[in-house]
Amino acid sequence: MHQNRKHLAMRHTVLALLPVALGLSGCGGGDSSSAVDLPALAAALPATFSGDCTTLPTVLGTLPNTTITSATTVAAGTVANVTTAEHCRVVGKMNERVSAVDGNPYYIGFEIRLPKTWNGRFFYQANGGTDGAIGTASGGVGGGGALSTALSKGFAVLSSDAGHQSQTTPFFGLDPQARLDYGYNAVGQLTPMAKNLIKSVYGKAPDRSYLGGCSNGGRHALVAASRYADQYDGILAGAPGYNLPKAAVAQLWGVQQYAPLATGRITSVATAAGVTSTVDLPDVSTAFTPAELSMVSSKILGKCDALDGVADAWVGDVAACQAAFSVANDVPTCSGARDGTCLTPAQKTVLSNVHSGAKNSSGTALYSSFPFDAGIGSTSSSGWAAWKFGNATSVGRDPGATAFIFTTPPQANPTTFTGLPFALNFNVDTDAPKIFATSGLYTESAMSFMAPPNPANLSKLRDRGAKIIAYHGTSDPIFSFNDTVSWFQSLMAANNGDASSFARLYPVAGMNHCSGGMAVDQFDLLDPLVNWVEKGAAPASVTAAARGTGTSAIAALVNAEVPATWSPGRTRPLCPWPTVARYNGSGSTEVAANFSCKS
């Protein structure tokens, strides 16, 4: 601790000299963060718990506002498809209460898994969607089909429902406190509790603490990096939906773009309670057929594949692809009926607009643009069509989240709420601003409780020696890769042009939302993060593998979207943005070693 304080004091001295140094080195090339001596954090030391898990509730009975409901031994075996050693699973709840607004009971539910042989580290597993369920506390290391977890590595891992017990409906948003718990306060409450719990079990608090997740979990990660920088040494942010309410609004805007193109009709809609009513509305999933999206994907591939140095059915240089490809020039225009080989002029306009990003009627951006990527043809549940048409019209996803959690005041009644009508009737001029609104009952806006207070300013995290690694699939249809690049650029700007002393962004070319797609999506970014935090080893390229047919005996771990022309286990380097994995010019194109991260 004393050593860290000394380093911090030194840092302030260096900062005071910076303007002079920058003046001498000219503009644009500032490198203050790497020039500054950030404190080095000591490596975590292992410990063991040799006692009986079932006695833990007695030991843990003094945690404030916390009830332990069970503590059981989990024998060595498979957890989240990964071989895992014996551990204790402790389940509990914090801050039990009954809402004065909706009359429903609430608490912050959690489980924490405590290895008998512990590596001295804590991992907060931030979950996806609108939370509401305690996912198995295994601790994801990034991507899909991971071969290890934080738990299998020996971390103590916590997972929570973020303060409400309803995973499939968004109606908890009626309760003001449940909104805040979901946004940030569950992490704020659970983190010190978990550290105290760990101390009670092992005799010491965690030496090092990490928080990671993807999607909403990536949002939690950036929120924690901003709000709870004093609590975490390493942050792993996957597909960070750090502008989540804006992304949801953009989805509703998208539904309104697709509607005029639809050839099919929807004749009934259902509430969360299963009450159906007869309607006659456009079926937006018919705006672009799978054949049309596959055709667009092939056109993108044709134009962009070779830009990374090799035509290998993989677009590695996504930035160059944006300059090379255009819907107007590279997608055939239908001269007759739609047959899957062309798009109508109206379809081309919508596809361009959707990638340019949602805007209100006066042209003001409501969210980010999206890059064109060959993954647009994905037919998986994490792919383009599933998100743009399915989740954008479902009660539990974008319409419901916007109606009940993200707009103030909440805009609908749970008993009658249906997704598609809400999306079609959402007013992007008068309703969209409600994600910034407050009221007497709802004193924080959604953009206040969901977004990091200032994602560009992570100086507190930086200055204590903590590190952050982000990753994002370039084919992500819901949280735009471009939005994450915008964040990273703002972080660089706030650090005189270079945040590399404490932050890395790894694009995952072709990956859908958090996993899947025409991508090498099996990777582990947790080990590089730990090595950076605890050994000062800054990460460079990280090898990722495809999960094609035959790469795993577990069917769920095989990615059906790996192209047949690829070796099923093809590897590629993940490269720190803005470098790109480029073919070296010789050797097998199926092997990462023959690619290098270059600008």
Active site residues: 215, 476, 513
Q: In angstroms, what is the minimal distance from the CB of 143 to Ca ion?
A: 19
Among 258, 247, 261, which residue's Cα sits nearest to residue 389? 258
Q: Which of 176, 168, 247 is nearest to 481 (CA)?
A: 247
Q: To which residue do tokens 């706030």 refer?
A: 494
* Strands 234-238 and 467-473, sheet pairing: parallel
Asked if the peptide bond before residue 568 counts as cis, ω within 30 degrees of 0, the response is no
Q: Which of residues 292 and 312 has its CB atom nearest to Ca ion in the complex?
A: 312
Q: How many CA atoms lie within 13 A of 249 on its CB side?
A: 27
In the complex, the smallest distance separating the C-beta of residue 308 from Ca ion, rounded to whole angstroms, is: 4
Tokens of 159: 């997972």
Strands 542-545 and 276-283, by their bridges, are unpaired
Of the pair 107, 577, the CB lying nearest Ca ion is at: 577
Alpha carbons within 13 A on the beta-carbon side of 329: 7
Please list the alpha-helical segments (H only) found in 325-370. Answer: 327-330, 345-356
User: How far is Cα 478 from Cα 426, in angstroms, rounded to an integer?
Assistant: 18
Sequence letter at residue 290: P
Site of interaction with Ca ion (CB under 5 A): 305, 308, 312, 314
Q: Which residues pair with 48 in a beta bridge?
A: 117
Q: By the 8 A CB rule, do 72 and 538 touch?
A: no
User: Minimum Å distance from CB 233 to Ca ion?
Assistant: 37
Judged by beta carbon, residue 314 or residue 577, the one nearer Ca ion is 314
Q: CA–CA separation, 366 vs 386, rounded Å?
A: 21
**Cα-Cα-Cα-Cα dihedral of 104, 110, 111, 114, to 10°?**
-160
- Tokens read off for 357: 């990003």
User: Both tokens of residue 570?
Assistant: 């093809």
Per-residue HEC secondary structure of 245-271 comes to HHHHHHHHHHHHHHHHHCCEEEEEEEC
Q: Are 294 and 377 in contact (CB under 8 A)?
A: yes
Nearer to Ca ion, 465 or 510 (CB): 510
Least Å from the CB of residue 581 to Ca ion? 9
Measured from the CB atom, the residue of 123 and 325 that comes closer to Ca ion is 325
Minimum CB separation of residue 317 from Ca ion in Å reads 8
Pinpoint the alpha helices (H) of 494-545.
526-535
Give the residue with the Cβ less far from Ca ion, 115 or 309. 309
Minimum CB distance to Ca ion, residue 387 (Å):
25
Amino acid letter, residue 183: G
For tokens 């071989």, name the residue.
83
Give the tokens for residue 288: 């672009």
Please say which residue, 129 or 573, places its beta carbon nearer to Ca ion.
573
As measured in angstroms, the least distance from the Cβ of 249 to Ca ion is 34
Cβ closest to Ca ion, residue 60 vs residue 301: 301
| In the complex, minimum distance from the CB of residue 304 to Ca ion, in angstroms, rounded to a whole number | 8
Contact between 38 and 502 (Cβ < 8 Å): yes
